[in-house]
Amino acid sequence: MNLESIGLGLALTKLRFVGFVRRRPHSYGFAPRMFIAFKTSATEEQKKCMEVWAQANGFSLTTKNQIGGEEMNKVLEALEPFHSLMLESDLKHIKKIRWLQNNPFPKVAYKEDGTRRSKKIGKNWKKFMYWVEAWDAFCESLE
């Protein structure tokens, strides 16, 4: 067994996958959040082992506290063949991340003069409501 294999095993158990919709004061009052982070139980030695595995797969885990964007996609792709070894709760969050990526959050549409129709309702309000219903249905299907 080498450090890369140990790093993979640790990545399967010590990474936390986060996909949710949070409140925010702008646009429709909500925004999607997606990232990967280390679980609080991960030690520095374990993080170094996971970094060996990550670098062998062409990315880095230790450059930031939260891994998002393209780096997050690389991690998810590298772990895909090992889903059968992961916790069900981690798989649920990965599914949420993938759903959020495949179903972008509707943007508030502004009038041609740059102003919104009202403080709460933009031109895409119906799209937003459809998105919310689809998100809720998806989350219920994971239960």
Q: Which residues are CB-neighbours of 38 under 8 A, at least 6 positions away? A: 14, 15, 16, 47, 61, 65
Q: Which pTM value belongs to this model?
A: 0.84
Q: Look up the domain containing 89 and give its range.
A: 3-142
For residues 46, 48, 53 and 59, what is the CA-based torsion angle, rounded to 10 degrees? 130
**Cβ distance 135 to 103 under 8 Å?**
yes
Quick check: 29 pLDDT over 90?
Answer: no
* Amino acid, res. 125: W
Q: pLDDT tens-digit profile of 84-125? A: 999 999 999 999 999 999 999 887 665 555 555 555 556 677
Q: What is the CATH number of the domain that holds 85?
A: 3.10.28
Write down the mean pLDDT value for the chain.
86
Question: Cα–Cα distances in Å, from 63 out to 71, 105, 107, 141?
Answer: 10, 27, 30, 35
* Amino acid, res. 20: F
Q: How many domains does the chain have?
A: 1
